[in-house]
Amino acid sequence: MKKSTPRVKVAEGLRALVSAEDILEAARRLGALQRQRKVDLVALVESTVAAVTPMPGTQTTAFANYLALTGQKLSPSAFFERFNHAFGQLMREVASRAVQAVREAVGEDKPFNELGALLGEFTDVQVADSTCQLLQRLAADWAPSTSEARPAAFKWHALVSLKDELPVADGVTPQRTQDTRALPDEALSPGTLTLMDLGYTDTGRFLDAIEAGAHFLVRLKAQHDPKVLRVHVGKGERVRARGMRLTDALLQGVLKEEGGVIDVDVQLEKHGRTAQARVVAVEGPEGERRWYLTTVGRDVLTAQQVAEAYRLRWRVELLFKALKSGVGLSALRATRPGAVLSLVYAKVIALALSCLLELSMQQKAGEPGQAQATGRLALVLALTRCAPLLLSHAMMSRGVTLEQLEERILLIAEVTARSRQQRRERERRKREASLGSGG
Q: Which of 309, 315, 311, 327 is nearest to 378 (CA)?
A: 327
Q: How far is CA 172 from CA 29, 46, 215, 410, in A?
A: 21, 22, 25, 38
Give the per-residue pLDDT at 408: 87
pLDDT at 301 over 90: yes
pLDDT band at 432 (very low <50, low <70, confident <90, very high): confident
Residues in CB range of 164: below 8 A, 6 or more apart: 102, 103, 106, 110, 355
pLDDT band at 373 (very low <50, low <70, confident <90, very high): very low
Neighbours of 436 (CB within 10 A): 7
DSSP three-state, residue 1: coil
What does the CA dihedral 405, 408, 409, 415 come to, rounded to 10 degrees? 180
Cα 267 from Cα 245, distance rounded (Å): 10
pLDDT at 255 over 70: yes
Do 40 and 69 form a contact (C-beta atoms < 8 A)?
Answer: yes
Average pLDDT over residues 34-63: 82
Give the CB-side neighbour count of residue 354, counting CA atoms within 13 A. Answer: 29
Compare 422 and 158 and report the one with higher pLDDT. 158
Cα 369 from Cα 83, distance rounded (Å): 45
Rounded to 5°, the CA angle 35-39-41 comes to: 90
Do 212 and 190 form a contact (C-beta atoms < 8 A)?
Answer: yes
pLDDT at 223 over 80: yes
Q: Which of 104, 97, 90 is nearest to 18 (CA)?
A: 97
Do 161 and 125 form a contact (C-beta atoms < 8 A)?
Answer: yes
Highest mean pLDDT among 11-25, 67-81, 165-179: 165-179
Give the per-residue pLDDT at 182: 94
Give the per-residue pLDDT at 346: 93
Q: What stretch of H or E contains 282?
A: strand 273-283
Residues in CB range of 347: below 8 A, 6 or more apart: 52, 323, 327, 328, 329
Do 121 and 375 form a contact (C-beta atoms < 8 A)?
Answer: no
pLDDT at 157 over 60: yes
Domain spans, the chain? 1-115+328-421
Q: Which of 101, 116, 98 is nearest to 163 (CA)?
A: 116
Give the per-residue pLDDT at 376: 64
Query: Residue 261: which region, alpha, beta or left (left: phi > 0; alpha: psi -120 to 50)?
Result: beta
Compare 331 and 185 and report the one with higher pLDDT. 185
Average pLDDT over residues 100-106: 85
pLDDT at 375 over 90: no
Average pLDDT over residues 58-85: 89
pLDDT band at 85 (very low <50, low <70, confident <90, very high): very high
Do 131 and 138 form a contact (C-beta atoms < 8 A)?
Answer: no
